[in-house]
């Protein structure tokens, strides 16, 4: 402090002396030589007085600087330290009244503000404590409810991490697990249940939701899993949806069916034993009859002996049948591995699983939507995918046609293709080769899968048309209604432990909502060109959600779109999407409804949103879909926050705000960057007094770029 004081004093003294010397030089230069000589003599004779004056100037400057430091600088430094202590360490600390009157007034105002802040902090702490008590009560009620459930229950997020489980689930999944695998909050369910089974079930649910007539009804899926120790469990999956009706997780209820399967194996062994014994008995009877027929003149004694053999074998056969019937009566199992599903869902699932760049799949459009099957869809799709792969690699099949039709008691599932017939030996080899489907069924064959469905397979060849057909005869099932759990936004229970399950909390007074409390859908498009009115179209759409100030990267939409026109060289140079990449992609008429559901009940956000919104508006007449929710534009918000900056491109804004630019000029990549930019902008808008949606929209409308139209 002392060194700084003397340094500042020396600088001020030097500046003042310099000013006096400069003034003297200017004055001297304006005099005649004789006058200059006279002035020099006068100053030389009074040099002692000048030195005294210089010393007095130094003392005056020192006293003034000392007073300034004592009354303003030092008190302000101490005041800043007091403020830091009040805000970070000790809220009860208060600033001392020091220095000049202005500084003392400022200290008093800060103390008043600190008192108000402390009272607010106490209120917040009290509300937090009250919320924690309510949360604890809710958790205790939830824990009690879960513990009373007779079934094993797990709740997982969309990434497969366990968010909730009960005691029965722990006992089922851990009690007999020889591998030491444990379940717990945050752990992955894939460590216990095979990942492909869960992904398969989620695909079924997602497809049923997309195809369902009632979007508020929740579909369910069932599958059978084998645990590490060989236990078999039947899993019942129901989806968990977020506030925008997007799939956010799933609930699994598990049932141990190991005993049921053992009983079924026992029944199979019983039937096999009956078959073998029956064959031996019938062989003995047949041999006796053939002998009697070959020797009609045999003696009565010999005839009596053969008749006795036939009688003994007949009685033995009757006893075997009675024993089998008794064993069958003790068996109460059912088709544990089978599930009910719509035929159209099975065909769609097969198409998604089998189709590859080298093998195109088309399906019939005459499939009855009311046709239901009872099948193991996971095993069946894997088995038919294996068959399709054999056809593609060994028979050069490039196109498969799928069809499903109802007969009186069965359904015909046909895989048809053109080309030479498949040899019977080759087909038998394919049907008997292990599929290697995973830990659950390491040696399952195509023939075993078909038999396990309660069905049969027939190979047909049409010589005139040169077409082959592999037909599966599958059992029909009664239609199953989807699990109807309606979404009640106002009454839905809040799981405070699960951030992914929290509701957005929006109300009808959307404009008055705080920006930090809104839910956003940040999106971006890539297009064939820059002129929507001239016929350019969207070729890629990417979007993701922001909820409660958090970027939910796993809740995203990323879809290429088949346009009705060729891409220009200029647009390909920007986004790198070629015409070949868009072959086989869905048209905008299929993608836009999906995006509309994805963005439901959220605020739309884009960079240069006028451009993207113009493309969406041009599609309203064609698709009947309109986006009526409010829109925020990060381009306009950047002008609000930094009105003196010249550049407001997405790259420039990201660089200013410290956002890493990854995946630019892809729809989803740009949407991610835009979302991160928006999160950085929210506190900057608050610093400018912009807190609500209406304030942000009003401020954006006053910017120059808001007058640009496309």
Provide the annotated active-site residues. 665
CA 695 to CA 220: how far, in whole Å? Answer: 44
CA 208 to CA 476: how far, in whole Å? Answer: 19
Q: DSSP alpha helices (H): ranges in 330-445?
A: 343-354, 377-394, 424-432
Q: How many helices (H) and strands (E) does the chain have?
A: 21, 17
**Residue 363 in contact with residue 402, Cβ under 8 Å?**
yes
Q: What is the Cα 454 distance to its own chain's centre?
A: 37
How would you classify the pairing of strands 410-418 and 467-477? antiparallel
| Angle of CA points 167, 149, 259, to nearest 5° | 75
132-144 residues labelled b (16+ CB within 10 A) or e (exposed) = eeeeeeeeeeeee
**Residue 223 in contact with residue 257, Cβ under 8 Å?**
no
Residue in the block written with tokens 């999106």: 523
Phi, psi of 531 (to 5 degrees): -125, 90
Strand partners, 240: 249
Q: Mind giving me the DSSP string for 242-287?
A: -TTS-EEEEEEEEEE-HHHHHHHHHHHHHHHHHHHHHHHHHHHHHH
> Distance between terminal CA atoms of the chain?
62
CA 472 to CA 404: how far, in whole Å? Answer: 9
Q: In the numeric block, which tokens belong to residue 325?
A: 């019937």
CA 229 to CA 440: how far, in whole Å? Answer: 11
CA atoms within 13 Å, Cβ hemisphere of 29: 6
SS3 476: strand
CA 125 to CA 107: how far, in whole Å? Answer: 26
Q: What is the Cα 202 distance to its own chain's centre?
A: 12
Residue 402: exposed, middle, or buried by beta-carbon count in 10 A (0-12, 13-18, 19+)?
Answer: buried
| Angle of CA points 107, 112, 117, to nearest 5° | 120
SS3 32: coil
CA 326 to CA 524: how far, in whole Å? Answer: 68
For 448-468, the three-class secondary structure string (H helix, E strand, C coil) is HHHHHCCCEEEEEEECCCCEE
**Residue 599 in contact with residue 524, Cβ under 8 Å?**
no
Q: In the numeric block, which tokens belong to residue 114?
A: 């600190």
CA 42 to CA 49: how far, in whole Å? Answer: 11
CA 710 to CA 635: how far, in whole Å? Answer: 15
Q: What is the dihedral of CA 150, 155, 161, 163, to 10 degrees?
A: -90
- Among 616, 565, 566, 574, which residue's Cα sits nearest to residue 591? 616
**Residue 227 in contact with residue 472, Cβ under 8 Å?**
no
For 295-315, the three-class secondary structure string (H helix, E strand, C coil) is CCCCCHHHHHHHHHHHHHHHH
Q: Residue 575 is inside which H or E element, if any?
A: helix 569-575
CA 695 to CA 682: how far, in whole Å? Answer: 12
Neighbours of 618 (CB within 10 A): 16
Q: DSSP alpha helices (H): ranges in 149-219?
A: 167-174, 195-211
């Amino acid at each position: 402090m002392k060194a700084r004081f003397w340094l500042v004093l020396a600088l001020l003294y030097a500046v003042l002396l310099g000013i006096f010397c400069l003034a003297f030089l200017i004055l001297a230069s304006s005099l005649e030589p004789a006058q200059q000589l006279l002035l020099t003599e006068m100053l030389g004779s009074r040099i002692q007085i000048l030195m005294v004056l210089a010393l007095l100037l130094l003392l005056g400057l020192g006293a003034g600087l000392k007073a300034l430091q004592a009354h303003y600088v030092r008190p302000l430094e101490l005041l800043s330290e007091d403020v830091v202590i009040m805000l970070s360490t000790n809220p009860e600390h208060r600033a001392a009244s020091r220095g000049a009157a202005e500084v003392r007034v400022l200290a008093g105002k800060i103390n008043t503000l600190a008192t108000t802040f402390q009272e607010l902090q106490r209120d917040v702490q009290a509300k937090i404590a009250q919320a924690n008590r309510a949360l604890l009560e809710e958790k205790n009620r939830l824990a009690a409810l879960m513990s009373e459930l007779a079934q094993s229950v797990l709740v997982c997020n969309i990434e497969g991490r366990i968010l909730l489980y009960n005691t029965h689930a722990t006992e089922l999944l851990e009690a007999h697990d020889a591998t030491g695998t444990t379940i717990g909050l945050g752990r992955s369910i894939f460590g216990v249940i095979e990942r492909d089974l869960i992904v398969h079930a989620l695909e079924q649910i997602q497809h049923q939701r997309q195809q369902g007539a009632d979007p508020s009804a929740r579909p369910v899926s069932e599958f059978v899993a084998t645990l590490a120790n060989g236990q078999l469990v039947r899993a019942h999956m129901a989806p968990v949806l977020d506030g925008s009706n997007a799939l956010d997780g799933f609930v699994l209820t598990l049932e141990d069916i190991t005993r049921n399967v053992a009983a079924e194996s026992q029944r199979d062994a019983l039937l096999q034993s009956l078959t073998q014994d029956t064959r031996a008995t019938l062989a003995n009877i047949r041999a006796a009859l053939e002998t009697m027929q070959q020797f009609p003149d045999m003696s009565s004694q010999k005839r009596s002996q053969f008749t006795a053999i036939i009688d003994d074998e007949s009685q033995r056969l009757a006893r075997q049948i009675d024993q089998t019937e008794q064993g069958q009566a003790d068996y109460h199992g059912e088709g544990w591995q089978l599930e009910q599903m719509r035929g159209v869902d099975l065909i769609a699932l097969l198409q998604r699983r089998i189709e590859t760049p080298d093998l195109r799949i088309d399906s019939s459009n005459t499939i009855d939507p009311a046709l239901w099957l009872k099948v193991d869809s996971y095993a069946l799709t894997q088995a038919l995918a294996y068959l399709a792969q054999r056809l593609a690699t060994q028979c050069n099949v490039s196109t498969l046609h799928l069809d499903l039709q109802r007969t009186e008691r069965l359904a015909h599932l046909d895989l048809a293709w053109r080309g030479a017939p498949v040899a019977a030996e080759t087909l038998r080899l394919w049907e008997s080769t292990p599929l290697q489907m995973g830990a659950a069924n390491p040696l399952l064959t195509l023939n075993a899968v078909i038999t396990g469905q309660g069905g049969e397979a027939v190979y047909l060849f049409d010589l005139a048309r040169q077409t082959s057909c592999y037909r599966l005869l599958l059992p029909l099932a009664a239609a199953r209604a989807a699990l109807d759990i309606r979404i009640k936004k106002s009454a839905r229970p809040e799981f405070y432990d699960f951030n992914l399950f929290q509701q957005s909390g929006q109300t009808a007074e959307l404009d008055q909502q705080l920006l930090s409390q809104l839910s956003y859908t940040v999106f971006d498009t890539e297009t064939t060109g820059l002129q929507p009115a001239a016929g350019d179209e969207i070729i890629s759409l990417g979007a993701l959600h922001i909820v409660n100030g958090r970027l939910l990267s796993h809740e995203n939409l990323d879809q290429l779109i088949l346009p009705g026109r060729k891409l220009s060289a200029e647009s390909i140079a920007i986004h790198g999407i070629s015409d070949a990449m868009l072959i086989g992609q869905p048209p905008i008429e299929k993608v836009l409804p999906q995006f509309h559901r994805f963005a439901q009940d959220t605020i739309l956000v884009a960079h240069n949103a006028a451009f993207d919104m113009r493309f969406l508006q041009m599609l309203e007449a064609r698709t009947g879909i309109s986006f009526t929710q409010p829109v925020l534009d990060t381009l306009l918000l950047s002008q609000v926050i930094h009105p003196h900056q010249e550049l407001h491109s997405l790259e420039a804004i990201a660089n200013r705000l410290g956002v890493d630019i990854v995946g630019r000029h892809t729809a989803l990549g740009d949407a991610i960057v835009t979302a991160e930019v928006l999160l950085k902008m929210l506190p900057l808008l608050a610093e400018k007094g912009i807190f609500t949606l209406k304030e942000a929209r009003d401020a954006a409308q006053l910017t120059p770029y808001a007058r640009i139209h496309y």
